[in-house]
Amino acid sequence: MHKRFGRTEVLKGVSLDIPRGEVLGIIGSSGSGKTTFLRCINLLEEYEVGTIELDGQAIGYRMIAGRRKRLRESEISDQRAEIGMVFQSFNLFPHMTVEQNIMLGLTKVRRMPSAAARTLAGAWLDRVGLTDKRDLYPYQLSGGQQQRVAIARAVAMEPKLMLLDEVTSALDPELVGEVLNVIRGLAHSGMTMLVVSHEMHFVRDIATRVVFMEGGRIAEEGPPGEILMRPRSARLVSFLNRFHGTGSQPAG
Amino acid sequence: MVYYFNFDPVWRGFGKLLDGLALGLEMAVVSLLAGTLIGIVCAHARLSSSALVRRAVWSYVEFIRNSPILLLIFFVYFGLPEVGIYSLDKYQSFVLTLSIYAGAYLTEVFRVGLVSVPVRYVEAAKAIGLRPFQRQIYVVFPVLFRIVLPSLSNNLISLFKDTSLATAIAVPELTFEAREINTYTFRVIETWLVASGLYLATCYAIAFALRLVERRYAVIR
C-alpha cells in the first residue's frame, strides 16, 4: 500500500507508505493536520495535490489525459467500503438499533442476505462485548458502548484499512479503557490501522510506527519506543511533556 | 332577551356533518401527502447549485405564502377552465390547490430539516460505502422525517382547518354542511356550536395521535 499526498494549506506535503498489517500511530497537537489527513484518505475531505493508493489502486482521483479528475461518487463509495472509519463522535445512525447499524453496510453495500448479516453482526457484537445491547438504540448506550458498536460496524465490513480518528476523545475517562481494549484486539489480529490519538500510552502500546505531525507536515517518524521515549525535535519534546507520565525526555 | 336552545334539528343532520368532517380530513391528508412530495423535491431544489432552480422555487414559495388561500382556490377553480382545462371537478380542484399551498409551506419545513440533518450521520454513511442514493434513503430521510415530524403534525391540523374554505366552491365538507343546516333550520348558534365542537375535537384527536407517533420515533438526541 502506498500513499503520497500533498496539500497546500492544511497539509503541506505528507508522504507515507503503510505496509499491510501495520498500526500507524499519528500524534500531534490540534491543528497539525492529522485529522484532515485521515479524512482525505476516504475522501471525506477533498485535496488538491497528491495521490493515495490502496493495494495499488488510486483512491478518489484519476489522471485522464494528463488532468486530475475526481472519480464518480459511486466509484468513490465502492472504494470507501474498503476503508473503515471510526469517528470521535461515534456517529451511529440514531434511528437504527445497534444490530441494524452494523447490518446496514453488510446488506446494502456488501449485498449480504440479511440472515447472514445478522449472524455476522452478532459475532462482532460478541467480540466487542455488547451482545445484550443488540436491540437497543444508540441513545440508550454509554459513549464507550456506542464507540464499540461503531468499531464493530466498521470492521464487520472487512475493510483493508481502518482509520481511527481520536476515538476516545469524546469519552469519559472511565470508558476509555473498554474502547482501547477492542482496538488492541484488532491490532493483534493483523488489521492495518491508522490511529490518530492523544492516548500516548495506548499509541506506544499498539503502534508499530509513530508519526508526529506538526504544521501540516510529518515532523518525526519512527518506532514508538524511539519517537515517544527519545524524541529528537524540541517541538516533539514539548508536545510530549504536555502528556504527563509518558516518560519522554530528550535523547542524550 | 332569552335564547332557547334547540339542538334537535342539528342532531337530525349530524350524519351529514360527520360525512363532511370525513371529507375534510380526507382532503387534508391527501394534500399533506402531496405537499410533502412537493416539499421534499422543492427543498432539494432550494439547496441546488443552480441559481435558476433556486430562484424558481423561491418564487413559488413566496407567491403562495403571500397569497390568501381563498384567492388561490378561486384562481384554480375558475381559472383552469378559462385556459381550457375542464377535467378537474371541484374536489380535485380544491385538493390540487391545497396541495400546492401545503407544498410551499412544507418546502420551507423540509429545507430547514435538510440543513439540520447532522453532517456526521452522512459522513458515517459515506464511510461505510453507501452510495449517494442509499445515503438519502437509509440515513438522510429517516433522520429528516424525525426532525420535521412536529411541523408535519401542525401542518396537518392547519390544512384540516383550511378545508372549511372549500365551502366557497360548494364542496360538501363540514362547514358547508353546517351552513346548509343553518339555512334550513335557522338554528344558528346550535349549528355553529356543534360544528366548532367537531373541528375542535378532531384537531385535538390529530394532535394527540401524532404526539404518540412523535414519541414512538423520538430516538434522536
Does residue A83 belong to any structural domain of this protein? yes
Instruction: Identify whether the C-beta of residue A227 lies closer than 8 Å to the C-beta of residue A220.
Output: yes
Checking if the pLDDT of B39 tops 80, the result is: yes
Residues of chain B in Cβ contact (below 8 Å) with chain A:
120-121, 123-132, 134, 138-139, 142-143, 146, 217, 219-221
Locate A173 and state its grid cell: 475517562
Distance CA(B105)–CA(B101), nearest Å, equals: 7
Lowest mean pLDDT among A97-111, A136-150, B80-94: B80-94
- Give me the number of domains chain A comprises: 1
Distance CA(A250)–CA(A232), nearest Å, equals: 6
Checking if the pLDDT of A190 tops 70, the result is: yes
Q: What's the average model confidence in pLDDT over B38-59?
A: 93
Lowest mean pLDDT among A131-140, B12-21, B210-219: B210-219
Does residue A177 belong to any structural domain of this protein? yes
Does residue A246 belong to any structural domain of this protein? no
Checking if the pLDDT of A251 tops 80, the result is: no
Residues of chain A in Cβ contact (below 8 Å) with chain B:
42-44, 73-74, 77-85, 87, 89, 91-95, 104-105, 108-109, 137-139, 150, 153-154, 157
- Predicted confidence at residue A9, as pLDDT, reads 61
pLDDT (tens digit per residue) in A5-33: 554 566 777 888 888 889 999 998 887 88
Does residue A121 belong to any structural domain of this protein? yes
In the chain, the amino acid numbered B202 is: T
In the chain, the amino acid numbered A247 is: G
Does residue A208 belong to any structural domain of this protein? yes
The CATH number that applies at residue A74 is 3.40.50.300
| Interface confidence (ipTM) of the complex | 0.89
Q: Which domains does chain B have, with CATH numbers?
A: 8-217 (1.10.3720.10)
Angle at B37 between CA B31 and CA B41, to 5 degrees: 140
At B214, the pLDDT band (50, 70, 90 cuts) reads: confident
- Percentage of the residues of chain A whose pLDDT score is greater than 70: 92
**Average pLDDT of the residues of chain B:** 90
Checking if the pLDDT of A3 tops 70, the result is: no
Q: Which domain holds residue A32?
A: 2-241
At A2, the pLDDT band (50, 70, 90 cuts) reads: low
Q: Which tops the pLDDT comparison, A101 or B182?
A: A101
Closest partner CB to A77 (pick from B131, B146, B220): B131
Instruction: Identify whether the C-beta of residue A25 lies closer than 8 Å to the C-beta of residue A210.
Output: yes
Dump the DSSP string for chain B. Answer: -------HHHHHTHHHHHHHHHHHHHHHHHHHHHHHHHHHHHHHHHT-S-HHHHHHHHHHHHHHHTS-HHHHHHHHHHHHHHTT-----HHHHHHHHHHHHHHHHHHHHHHHHHHHS-HHHHHHHHHTT--HHHHIIIIIHHHHHHHHHHHHHHHHHHHHHHGGGGGGGT--SHHHHHHHHHHHH--HHHHHHHHHHHHHHHHHHHHHHHHHHHHHH----
